[in-house]
Amino acid sequence: MYLTKLKEITQSEIKIPIFDVVISVPGWFTDIQRRAILDAAEIAGLNPLRLLNDTTAAALGYGITKTLPEDKPRHVVFCNIGHSTYSVSVVAYVKGQLTVKGTAFDRHFGGRNFDQVIVDHLAAEFKEKKKIDVYSNNKALLRLRTAAEKLKKVLSANPQAPINIESIMNDIDVSSIVTRSDFEEWAKDTLDRIENPLKEALEQSGLTIADIDAIEMIGGSTRIPIIKDRISKFFGKDVSTTLNQDEAVARGCAFQCAMLSPVFKVRELRVHDITSYPIKITWLSTPEDDDTEIVVFDRGNGIPSTKALTFYRKEPFDLEARYANPATLPTGINPWIGRYSVKNVEPTPTGEPAQVKVKTKLNIHGVMAVESAYLVEEKVEEVPVAETGPAPMDTDDKSGAAPAAAPAEPVKTKKVKKLVRKGDLPVSIGTTSLDKTILNQFREGENEMASTDRLIADTEERKNALEEYVYDTRSKMELQFTEFVDSATRKSFVAQLNEAEDWLYGDGEDALKSAYVIKLDELKKVGVPIAERYRDAEERPRAEKLLRESMQQFQSNALSSEERFAHISVDDKQQVVDQCDKARRWLDEHLAKQENVPKTETPLVWAKDILKQREDLVHFCSPLLSKPKPAPKPAEAPKPEEKSEEKSEEKPEDKKEEKKDEEKAEMDID
């Protein structure tokens, strides 16, 4: 139901269906816990693309916006301290990828530990001063815990803060003043738990404090100043809070989801995570094997990764996966992961054990799986051997004769053994994941519960609508609606409203949705016509005013002598005047008839009818009065023949002068 509710909230916000998701989990989650999350997501109708460790998600959100080095990695420590858990990851960044180098956890350390410190000291103080034992009263203890959490938050920003609780128990009020230094002194033993995960993560990463470039703090409890101081002193450098402490993990998951989706194009940043617990495979002892177990995925093994195991068997056999070090698992977690039965194994034709390859995988979710099993056959093949001796030297033949052909030598070969995949073997798998049949049953149950929730919400909405209508309409019957309903109808309708109210708080308290709908429809049959008459009486004068203003404006423009209407034809102007007169006659006639209609009866003319008349008038008159002016006629250009004739005309005297000038020029040259 939790994932289903988150899905509904998200869908209501973004207005599209949700299917593909990336879900964050604590890095210390085991195989059974991760499988439970995957099953829950499937029941909720979601497709989990990846289960991402919370600190890894924060690291992804951090790295995708940074300019990363190409050669020397940048090492960043992520400390996530929430309400109840504490996680540390050491991450190495290079361009295009992030690699988790080490992780460590304290599964029972967080903000609630500091709340408990305050509760313990204040309870002791109140016991001494007021002679009351808060721990003997659950309600009082809950109120004290709530006040302690609020006090812790105030002390994160102020040097001291008061705490006041009225009538905490036995009608006794309590109050006190707590300083930040007092709080830090009380939490001294709790604060000592901060360093162990830091040391463990550094040790697993193989790095030293000097190799760390930055420390990023996320999680609500990292706002406590003394926590930041302790971590800063451990590394010898200031801590950073560039990430949103509450939303960093969700942001990283969103980026990962976009990367895995074909719809979005996101900056490439490959994520290489690691597993937190070693996983081993065990089997029954056989004459062919000296051992009965092997660690296939050690702590710090990359996610995802694949390994192949080789077995020599004459018959079907079983494998069992479990955690190699159960003491490191969360309390109450079974180290058993799964059982895998390899079928159809038979000896070779010579009676020897068959060679079987079993392919195991730690998938993208951090879940262990056996992907396949197959037979391998060893074949001997002859392959040519390349000549490794010196090549013959070239010699100059002065006679130019071709050298004699060397006798052909046989190609040298050697026998090589090769492994050939012969055929797949069926594998029966048993894990902590739910069976498909059970998943389908749970999915149906989830859908039924979701439908029930929607029905309850709709029913409550209809009930509220009925209640609101009763109160609103009853008050208006005595005020606004008085003139628009006769006394007999008003009396009977008010009685009907009162009856509906009594039914709501009596037999109708837990009625069906349909009952509320029917009841509301019955009331609206009487109430809606009254409300419509009231609204129409309010809107009719405004509609009349708008129509008269439009008629006056159009008629004035049609009869105007202004230049902007001078190009409008007389016929068009007359049509506008006639249409305005027609609308005026219609309005005056209908309003005169309406004057004789009582307000308690249905109007002869509604405000919407008057507005429709105005709309028709505007559609008719506007095109006629907004015609553009005709374009002016262009001036006539001179004809081409006349121009050419003018150019060709020359005076005879001009020709004679040109001839004399030419003769004079010739004489000067001679």
CATH assignment at residue 344: 2.60.34.10
Query: Taking a C-beta distance cutoff of 8 angstroms, is the pair 555, 576 a contact?
Result: yes
Q: Is residue 340 part of a domain?
A: yes
How many other β-carbons are positioned within 10 Å of the β-carbon of residue 45? 16
Query: Taking a C-beta distance cutoff of 8 angstroms, is the pair 321, 341 a contact?
Result: no
| CATH number for the domain that contains residue 590 | 1.20.1270
Identify the domain boundary among 232, 257, 272.
272
Q: What is the pLDDT of residues 243-290, one digit of tens each?
A: 998 999 999 999 999 999 888 888 889 999 999 999 999 998 877 677
Cα dihedral across residues 576, 578, 584, 589: positive or negative: negative
Q: How far apart are CA 321 and CA 427, in angstroms?
A: 14
Phi, psi of 529, deg, nearest 5: -60, -40
Q: Is residue 509 part of a domain?
A: yes
Pair (98, 245) in one structural domain? yes
- For the chain, which residues score pLDDT lower than 70? 288, 379-383, 385-420, 635-670
Pair (64, 212) in one structural domain? yes
Pair (230, 320) in one structural domain? no
Phi, psi of 108, deg, nearest 5: -130, 40
Phi, psi of 387, deg, nearest 5: -70, 130
Pair (498, 547) in one structural domain? no
Of residues 463, 451, 457, the one with CA closest to residue 518: 463
Q: How is 227-269 classified by DSSP, letter by letter?
A: HHHHHHHHHTS--B--S-TTTHHHHHHHHHHHHHSSS------
Coil, helix or strand at residue 321: strand
In our burial notation (b when 16+ CB lie closer than 10 A, e otherwise), range 6-41 reads ebeeeeeeeeeebeebbbbbbbbbbbbbbbebbbbb
Pair (418, 447) in one structural domain? no
Pair (469, 580) in one structural domain? no
Facing residues of 413 across strands? Answer: 384
Of residues 314, 250, 323, 254, the one with CA closest to residue 287: 314
Pair (506, 550) in one structural domain? no
Q: Is residue 395 part of a domain?
A: no
Pair (238, 99) in one structural domain? yes
Q: How far apart are CA 114 and CA 178, in angstroms?
A: 14
pLDDT of amino acid 400: 45
Q: Is residue 351 part of a domain?
A: yes
Pair (556, 621) in one structural domain? yes
pLDDT of amino acid 352: 86
- 385 DSSP 8-state letter: P
Identify the domain boundary among 499, 522, 545.
522
Facing residues of 341 across strands? Answer: 318, 428
| CATH number for the domain that contains residue 479 | 1.20.1270.10
Pair (540, 593) in one structural domain? yes
Query: Taking a C-beta distance cutoff of 8 angstroms, is the pair 88, 226 a contact?
Result: no
Beta strands 427-431 and 413-425: pairing type? unpaired
Q: How far apart are CA 260 and CA 65, in angstroms?
A: 18
Coil, helix or strand at residue 69: coil
Beta strands 354-362 and 305-313: pairing type? antiparallel
| CATH number for the domain that contains residue 35 | 3.30.420.40
Q: Is residue 393 part of a domain?
A: no
Token representation of residue 517:
């709908």
Identify the domain boundary among 431, 460, 489.
431
- Containing 658, the helix (H) or strand (E) segment is helix 652-669
Q: Is residue 306 part of a domain?
A: yes
Give the pTM.
0.74
- What is the strand order of the sheet 427-431 is part of? 293-297, 279-282, 317-323, 336-342, 427-431
Beta strands 172-179 and 305-313: pairing type? unpaired
User: How many domains, in total, are found in the chain?
Assistant: 4
Residue 479 neighbours by CB under 8 Å, 6+ apart: none
Phi, psi of 152, deg, nearest 5: -60, -45
Q: Is residue 636 part of a domain?
A: no
How many other β-carbons are positioned within 10 Å of the β-carbon of residue 542? 12
Pair (27, 103) in one structural domain? yes
Structural domain of 72: 2-109+193-272
Token representation of residue 308:
């192949």
Pair (18, 74) in one structural domain? yes
Q: How is 126-182 classified by DSSP, letter by letter?
A: HHHHH---GGG-HHHHHHHHHHHHHHHHHHTTSSEEEEEEEEEETTEEEEEEEEHHH
Q: Is residue 243 part of a domain?
A: yes
Cα Rg of the chain (Å, integer)? 46
Token representation of residue 477:
């019957």
